[in-house]
Amino acid sequence: MSEKFQDHHYPKIVIVGGGFAGLELAKKLSHKPVNAYLIDKHNYHTFQPLLYQVATGGLGSDSIAYPLRKVIGPMPNVAYRMAEVLSINSKNKCVETSVGDFEYDILVLATGSTTNYFGNKELEALTMPIKSISQALDIRSYFLQEFEKAFTEQSISSKEETLNFVIVGAGPTGVELAGAMAEIRKNVMPHDYRELDPKQMRIHLVEAGNRVLASMSEKSSAAAQKFLEEMGIDIHLNTMVTGYDGRELHLKGHASLHAETVIWSAGVMGDMPSGLPEDKIIRGNRIRVNEFAEVEGEEGIYAIGDIAAMVSEQYPHGHPMVASVAVQQGPWLAKNILRKLMQKEAIPFVYKDKGSMATIGRNRAVVDLPFMHIKGWFAWYIWMFVHLLLLVSFRNRLIVFVNWAWNYISYERAIRLIIRPYTKKYPK
């Protein structure tokens, strides 16, 4: 930190998590009368809505990641530390990490979410999650390895099993991933894998609920399902996964699916640091907070973003775990912290739902706005424009735009590299 802000009278603020909420909070505290630390186990911010494009070779990992130090560097009163949080010690008001302890006057937990397997250890061990860049790169390597492996399979049944890809969970991530894989089958396989029959590649989308994109309107859900079916994706609704042995996915009340690649996008839960009392944690492994994001009964501790459940009559389980909530809560909490320092009354958080969207592939998308529903090519352009704007830096926006333009013109996904082969780890 700059000597200018090394004033012991300034409160010490520790922000845990460099996702949307934590980073937006840090930005708004820049050049303010506070001393702040941003702690994250990664030295980069990840734009998670585009992880599926890294997983399917449409974008490189550096397109959706941005160094946290690059963002924090110009902030004289904010410092970054790459560390893993071990525990929250609220009694002594410090955060215990892998690089030492950080004392705080105000602690903000913005640790985000992680994959929810609903307690099924078998699924956790053998399916592939998609919540981080490393996991997206694992998926990319593995499905490309499966294409290469299919060349060596002697029987048609073995080839088909190798080229069976199952995505569990038909939320935005699952739907977008399925659409991207369908485009690989249509546009990449006939050119790069000419000895394989694209018809042997099957893409299954498994959903426990009764429709895809359940968080969106019924109109958008129906339009998305129609797009998926037109692209040749096998949709399994009202189908619950009960187990997986690495080759056979067991489904309740339905025939099993034989597949070596199963991607799990069926649920998320709060990425909870240890140290907080269990009575503060509610459904979804989230921290219950009041309308000011305060963890009740814990002095000076706030939680925002996916980890926080701000329970209200409108949101009985907390706000949806989406980026738009985190992006709004970060600046709002910064304003409230500064108001508190000036001994002004805090402002309750009011979420402004600006809509939701999902893309299902080239010229196919659905957008729900508060006043209308859009589908097709126009929705696709809206989806691209919004995602470009939300990226952290101009460099990332430029790289993503160039990649998208090339993919659109060439009908291919250029980054089909097996940099680090992935080996499935079977439990002992």
Residue-wise pLDDT for 156-191, tens only, equals 888 888 999 999 999 999 999 999 999 999 999 998
pTM metric for this prediction: 0.92
Contact 45, 71 (CB under 8 A): yes
Question: pLDDT for 112-161, tens place per residue?
Answer: 999 999 999 999 999 999 999 999 999 999 999 999 999 998 888 888 88
Per-residue pLDDT at 2: 47
Domain ranges (residues) in the chain: 3-41+83-115+268-341, 121-266+357-410
**Shared fold status for 3-41+83-115+268-341 and 121-266+357-410:** yes
Nearest to 66 by CA among 39, 45, 48, 40: 45
Q: Which two tokens stand for residue 303?
A: 């939680």
Residue-wise pLDDT for 60-97, tens only, equals 999 999 999 999 999 999 999 999 999 999 999 999 99
Structure-token match 């955060």, residue found: 95
Question: Class for domain 3-41+83-115+268-341, per CATH?
Answer: alpha beta
130 to each of 158, 227, 228, 247, 426, how far by Cα in Å? 26, 23, 20, 19, 18
- Kindly report the CATH number that applies to the domain delimited by 121-266+357-410: 3.50.50.100
Q: In a structure prediction context, what are the per-residue pLDDT tens digits for the chain, which is 428 residues long?
A: 544 445 567 999 999 999 999 999 999 999 999 999 999 999 999 999 999 999 999 999 999 999 999 999 999 999 999 999 999 999 999 999 999 999 999 999 999 999 999 999 999 999 999 999 999 999 999 999 999 999 998 888 888 889 999 999 999 999 999 999 999 999 999 989 999 999 999 999 999 999 999 999 999 999 999 999 999 999 999 999 999 999 999 999 999 999 999 999 999 999 999 999 999 999 999 999 999 999 988 999 999 999 999 999 999 999 999 999 999 999 999 999 999 999 999 999 999 999 999 999 999 999 999 889 999 999 999 999 999 999 988 889 999 999 898 888 877 766 788 888 888 877 66
Question: pLDDT at position 420, please?
Answer: 85
